[in-house]
Amino acid sequence: MRIGLIAMSGVRVRNPELAALGVSLPQFVSRGRVIASLPSLGLLTVAGLTPREHEVLYLEFAELPPADQELERFDLVGISSFTAQIDEAYALADRYRAIGVPVALGGLHVSLLPEEAARHADAIVVNGAEGAWPRLLQDFQAGRMQPRYEGLRARVFEEPNYVLPRFELLRGRPYNRLTVQTSRGCPLDCEFCAASLRITSSFQQKPVDKVVAEIRAAREVTSQPFFELADDNTFISKKWGKELLRALRPLGIRWFTETDISVADDEELLELLAESGCAQVLIGLESPDAGSLASLDPHNWKQRRCDDYLRAIERIQSRGVSVNGCFILGLDNHGPDIFEKVRDFVARAGLIEVQVTVQTPFPGTPLHARLKREGRLLPEPYWDRCTLFDVTYEPLHMSRAELEAGMRWLFSELYNEREFLQRKRRYMELVKQRI
Amino acid sequence: MKGEEVERLVRALLGELSRSDVSALGRDEDLVEHLGLDSLQGLSFLAAVEKRFQVRFPDELLAALRSVGALVEGIQSARKEPVA
Ligand code: B12
Ligand code: SF4
């Protein structure tokens, strides 16, 4: 059987003013270019779960192929989904089905809104592909494919569910970095979070030897030794984290991951981070003042940590590991003064990179359910605006227009040439202290 | 230090940091592309050059220092300026 696995690639912004601004801001553009070329680890995993008797082709579409362009034919097509590109994924699925090619849809958005997705697919897979995709293929070959398959929400990294993603499908393609997942889920459980915790029943960690095997496999197909860990929050367990870092140390890679501010609590972990080639940790600081972090997560964990942010950032960056501080604008406690507060905090903290996004009620999240109850959402579906840059709801203490304008102002304050150069210089001075 | 000597030292440092053989690399060849450096690696490399040669490149020149030739010239002209 010939199976086509398709991802919609690249990054998305809908608001034309922001899009225009984005193109003119150097740091925004450079990060966009880097991450836009990441492959779909989800589909490489689906490929790994496919028995080798089948031929698998991995395709990426930055946009929908023109209507008059003939689509490559397969016996079965699998399409992955994030919310922001779901309209394109559905349109592609509809076109394949119209020419008689059966389509299976899976991924985050499909797992969050399965009934909607089912209208565009012969079969949907919710949660991880582990535990579902092999069954789907067997059924398909036997001519009895079901409309819905439940993938695993636990034990995805254990035998016999775990498979090595098929990195060799990327051979010859010009990615400047590759991804490896070391964990799924995050116990902090923030109200707005739309990442892998929505497809797991609890936090799951991959055994370290499997992570190392994946990195080795990925390195066989790329000359670029840069990796992004496709995790939500890598260092939940400091003990496991240290084991991972000791194993990464001899591999000679450079890498990046997403985690929380508690990495700064552990001296040994920080040393190991630096020694293992960690170039940057992305940390969701969310807001510079504790007051606005109330109720963000059920235990007010981020609120309790906020007063320590400056010291923690300093501790991490002093090891030569840069912090990419992420802020979310438009939280319920944010008023129009938030934009200046973020700008001032970024300057004070000496953050080497900064990412500012707008609160986004992704369907399937507690935030979405609450704002819906409160009647504050844009008319649905607004999924193409779930880009993290487009405002899709009524903020509480400012208008939508104020939030949009404030965000544009903050972007131009943070991503201009002068700030960019200052951040570069700060990073170089940190490196010099270390070498 | 003469231009050739600076170039020899720059190449040695580059080889050491990138763990690859850069002896055949053209003087004007783009280092970032050739070595596949990410942006932080590029900056780390520039930081190492600054430290080794005891210079400080003007911030607005950093982006242009992408070849052995540009680095050699950058080092030589920075040496004429007092180190900040
Ligand atoms: C790497 C990454 C990217 C890469 C993605 C490359 C790609 N095509 O997959 C790039 C940089 C291109 C990217 C882009 C965007 N991203 Co992104 N990205 C991530 C990141 C860091 C890791 C995702 C990952 O690799 N996970 C690991 C894999 C193994 O998990 P998975 O994809 O869920 O796959 C499993 C299952 O879902 C399922 N599955 C998946 N696909 C399929 C398909 C079939 C057929 C089947 C059967 C099963 C199946 O099986 C897999 C194995 O279990 C996450 C954040 C995070 N830490 O998780 C954000 C994240 C996924 N991104 C997010 C967003 C918002 C975006 C953008 C909209 C940003 C923007 N403004 O442009 C764009 C989306 C545009 C687009 N083209 O889709 C959100 C998505 C939320 C949502 N519910 O949609 C996340 C969660 C981050 C966040 N802040 O919330 N992103
Ligand atoms: S800390 Fe990050 S990954 Fe964890 S739940 Fe909150 S937003 Fe999601």
Q: Closest Cα of chain B to A91: distance in Å?
A: 35
Q: For residue B39, is pLDDT > 80?
A: no
pLDDT of residue A431: 84
Q: For chain A, give the mean pLDDT.
A: 93
The pLDDT of residue A281 is above 50:
yes
The pLDDT of residue A13 is above 90: no
What integer pLDDT is reported at residue B23 of this predicted model?
A: 83
* Residue A435 clears pLDDT 90, i.e. is over it: no
Predicted pLDDT at A383:
97
- Ligand whose nearest atom lies closest to the CA of A305: 2
Indicate the range of A52-66, A161-175, A188-202, A412-426 predicted with least confidence.
Answer: A412-426
Q: What is the mean pLDDT of residues A351-371?
A: 95
Among partner residues B40, B47, B51, which is closest to A280 by beta-carbon distance? Answer: B40
pLDDT digits (tens, 9 = 90+) for A47-59: 999 999 999 999 9
B56-65 per-position pLDDT tens digit? 999 999 989 9
From the list A30, A421, A425, which residue is nearest B39 (CB)? A30
CB pairs under 8 A between A and B: 48
A190 CB near ligand 2 (under 6 Å) = yes
Q: What pLDDT digit, counting tens, does each position of A292-330 carry?
A: 999 999 999 999 999 999 999 999 998 889 999 999 999
- Residues from A in contact with B at Cβ < 8 Å: 30, 34, 176-177, 223-224, 226, 252, 254, 279-280, 322, 421-422, 424-425, 427-429, 431-432, 435
Q: What is the pLDDT of residue A36?
A: 58
Chain A contact for B43 (CB, 8 A cutoff): yes
A3 pLDDT more than 90: yes
Q: B82 exposed, middle or buried (CB, 10 Å; 0-12, 13-18, 19+)?
A: exposed
Q: Which of A91-100, A394-403, B60-69 has the lowest mean pLDDT?
A: B60-69
Asked if A76 and A121 count as a contact pair (C-beta separation under 8 A), the reply is: no
What average pLDDT does this structure show over A206-226? 92
Which ligand has the minimum distance to the alpha carbon of residue A302? Answer: 2
Residues of B in contact with A281 (CB under 8 A): none
CB-based contact A188:A232 (threshold 8 Å): no
How many angstroms separate the CA atoms of B13 and B4, rounded?
14
Which of chain A's residues have a Cβ under 8 Å away from the Cβ of B43?
A: 424, 427-428, 431
Q: The domain B3-78 belongs to what CATH superfamily?
A: ACP-like (1.10.1200.10)
CA distance A212 to A73: 36
Q: Which residue of B has its CA nearest to A26?
A: B63
Is A333 a residue whose pLDDT tops 60?
yes
Contact A106, A81 (CB under 8 A): yes
Partner residue facing A424 (CB), from B36, B43, B50: B43
pLDDT digit string, tens, across residues A37-46: 789 999 999 9
- The pLDDT-based confidence of A15 (bands split at 50, 70, 90) is confident
Q: A22-36, A124-138, A374-388: lowest mean pLDDT where?
A: A22-36
Q: What residues of chain A lie within 8 A of the CB of B48, using their CB?
A: 431, 435
Nearest to A288 by CA among A306, A273, A265: A306
The pLDDT of residue A208 is above 50: yes
Domain formed by A2-12+39-150, architecture: 3-Layer(aba) Sandwich (3.40)
What residue segments make up the domains of chain B, in order of their start? 3-78
pLDDT for position A1: 97
Provide mean pLDDT across the span A335-352.
95
Average pLDDT over residues A104-122: 98
From B74's Cα to the closest Cα of chain A, the distance in A is 16
**Residue B84: per-residue pLDDT:** 43
pLDDT of residue A416: 86
Q: Is A272:A249 a contact under the CB 8 Å cutoff?
A: yes
* Domain A176-434: CATH superfamily, name plus number: Aldolase class I (3.20.20.70)
Secondary structure of chain A in HEC code, one letter for each residue: CEEEEEEECCCCCCCHHHHHHHHHCHHHHHHHHHHHCCCCHHHHHHHHCCCCCCEEEEEEECCCCCCCCCCCCCCEEEECCCHHHHHHHHHHHHHHHHCCCCEEEECHHHHHCHHHHHCCCCEEEECCCCCCHHHHHHHHHCCCCCCEEECCCCCCCCCCCCCCCCHHHHCCCCCCCEEECCEECCCCCCCCCCCHHHHCCCCEECCHHHHHHHHHHHHCCCCCCEEEECCCCCCCCHHHHHHHHHHHHHHCCEEEEEECHHHHHCHHHHHHHHHCCEEEEEEEEECCCHHHHCCCCCCCHHHHHHHHHHHHHHHHHCCCCEEEEEEEECCCCCCCCHHHHHHHHHHHHCCCEEEEEECCCCCCCHHHHHHHHCCCECCCCCHHHCCCCCCCECCCCCCHHHHHHHHHHHHHHHCCHHHHHHHHHHHHHHHHHHC
User: Would you call B23 exposed, middle or buried from its count of C-beta atoms within 10 A (0-12, 13-18, 19+)?
Assistant: exposed
A422 → chain B, closest CA residue: B59
Residue of B36, B44, B60 lying closest to A431 (CB–CB): B44
- Name the residue ranges covered by the structural domains of chain A: 2-12+39-150, 176-434
